[in-house]
Amino acid sequence: MWEWRAAELLDASCGAMTYARDPEVAGEVSGRYVTDYADLRVSCEACQDQYKAVAAIQFCVSSIKSRGASLAAGPMATGGGKALLGVLATGAGALLAATPGGGIVGFPLMGIGLGVAAAGISDAGVALEIRNAAARAIDWYCNCENAKKYLWTEPD
C-alpha cells in the first residue's frame, strides 16, 4: 500500500538517513498495515532527552491506539450488524422451513442468512487485522532504540 523512498535529511544530532513517505504514491490509510502508522513514530531527536522520550513514546502510543480504534470502528460495527441480521434471517428461515409448505421460502432465507452472517464475520476480521497492525506499529514506531538505530526524524 505504501511505497517508501530513501530521503536525505540532515540532522546534527541524529545522523542523515531516514525513510520518508513519498507523497505522490501515498494512498488512503486502511490501518491494516504497520506502515499506516509511520507518521506517528517517535523521532531520534525526541529520544535524545530522557523526559522528551517518555512524552514522545506516550504520545506515539496514544496516537496509534486512537487511529487504530477509529479505523476499526467501521468494520466492527458493520460486521456486528451483518452477523446479527444473518443469524436472525437464518433463524426465521429455519422456522419457516419447519412449517408445512414453508420450505420454499425458508431454505433460501436460511442460505441468505448464512451468507450475510459470513460477510459480517469477515468484516469483524478486518477490525482484528487493524487491531493487530496497530499493536505491531506501537512495538515498532514507539521505540527509541529503533528511532536511534534507523535515524528517524520528525515525520513529514
Structural domain includes residue 154: no
Predicted pLDDT at 54 = 95
Structural domain includes residue 25: yes
Q: Domain range holding 117?
A: 4-149
Structural domain includes residue 52: yes
C-beta neighbour count of 50 within 10 angstroms: 8
Structural domain includes residue 48: yes
Summarised one tens digit per residue, pLDDT across range 82-133 is 999 999 999 999 999 999 999 999 999 999 999 999 999 999 999 999 999 9
Structural domain includes residue 51: yes
Summarised one tens digit per residue, pLDDT across range 17-30 is 334 444 444 567 89
- Please, where are the H alpha helices in 38-156? 50-98, 103-141, 144-149
Compute the CA torsion angle 7, 137, 40, 149 (nearest 10 deg): -50
What pTM value is reported for the model?
A: 0.76
Q: Write the CB contacts of 133 (distance below 8 Å, at least 6 apart in sequence).
A: 31, 32, 33, 34, 36, 37, 68
Structural domain includes residue 156: no
Q: Is the pLDDT of residue 3 over 60?
A: no
CB 35 within 8 A of CB 26: no
CB 97 within 8 A of CB 65: no
Structural domain includes residue 65: yes
Count of domains in the chain? 1
